[in-house]
C-alpha cells in the first residue's frame, strides 16, 4: 500500500556519511520535531536527477526555509558511498542530508518502489517529493513514469 497524506513514516534505517564513515540514521532521527522536504530520485548521477532534481532543491533551499521547511533530505536506492560522492560532486552542503536507502527498504515500506530492471538498474525508488511534518506526511507529489514536474522544488514552493 502506498503511503498517503496523513500517514506516519514507517521506521527505517538510512545510511549517511559521517566524519568517520558510514553511519545509520533512523527515520525518527531525520524527521522528528522538524518539517522536512524529502525528495527521492531513481538514481544518483542519472541525468534528470543530477541536472534538475537535486540542483532545484539546492537552489531553492532558502526559499523553502522561508516557507517553514526546517531541513531538506534526498533519498535514493543507492549505497552510502555513491550518495556521498554524488552530494560532494554536486556541491551539496549542510543544507541537505543525503539518505542512502541501499536495499530499497524505505522505498518498499512506503509503497513507492520502482522496477527499473528493464534499464539494468534493478529495484529503485519512484521519483517523488513530500513534506514530512514531525514524521507525518503533510504533502505527497509522485511523478508519473518518466516525468519530472510535481516532485520538483519549484512545484513544492508553489504549493506551500
Q: Which of 40, 49, 77, 92 is catalytic?
A: 49
HSE-CB of 115 using CA atoms within 13 angstroms = 1
Q: Which of 93, 96, 13, 89 is nearest to 44 (CA)?
A: 89
Alpha carbons 31 and 152: distance in angstroms, whole number = 20
Sole residue written with cell 556541491: 91
Alpha carbons 113 and 38: distance in angstroms, whole number = 15
Give the total residue count for the chain: 160
- Compute CA 143 distance to the chain's CA centroid, rounded to the nearest angstrom: 13
Residue 49 annotated as catalytic: yes
What stretches of 5-157 adopt beta strand conformation (E)? 13-18, 21-26, 35-41, 71-76, 96-100, 113-115, 123-125, 128-133, 136-142
**Is the CB of residue 102 less than 8 Å from the CB of residue 80?**
yes
- Positions annotated as catalytic residues are 49
Amino acid at each position: 500500500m502506498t503511503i498517503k497524506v496523513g500517514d506516519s513514516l514507517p521506521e527505517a534505517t538510512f545510511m549517511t556519511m559521517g566524519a568517520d564513515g558510514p553511519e545509520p540514521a533512523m527515520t525518527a532521527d531525520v524527521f522528528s520535531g522538524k518539517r522536512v522536504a524529502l525528495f527521492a530520485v531513481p538514481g544518483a548521477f542519472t541525468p534528470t536527477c543530477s541536472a534538475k532534481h537535486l540542483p532545484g532543491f539546492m537552489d531553492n533551499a532558502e526559499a523553502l526555509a522561508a516557507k517553514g521547511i526546517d531541513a531538506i533530505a534526498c533519498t535514493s536506492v543507492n549505497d552510502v558511498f555513491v550518495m556521498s560522492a554524488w552530494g560532494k560532486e554536486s556541491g551539496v552542503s549542510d543544507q541537505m542530508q543525503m539518505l542512502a536507502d541501499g536495499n530499497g527498504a524505505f522505498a518498499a515500506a512506503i509503497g513507492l518502489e520502482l522496477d527499473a530492471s528493464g534499464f539494468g538498474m534493478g529495484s529503485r525508488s519512484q521519483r517523488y517529493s513530500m513534506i514530512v511534518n514531525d514524521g507525518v506526511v503533510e504533502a505527497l507529489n509522485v511523478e508519473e513514469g518518466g516525468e519530472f514536474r510535481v516532485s520538483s522544488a519549484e512545484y513544492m514552493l508553489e504549493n506551500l
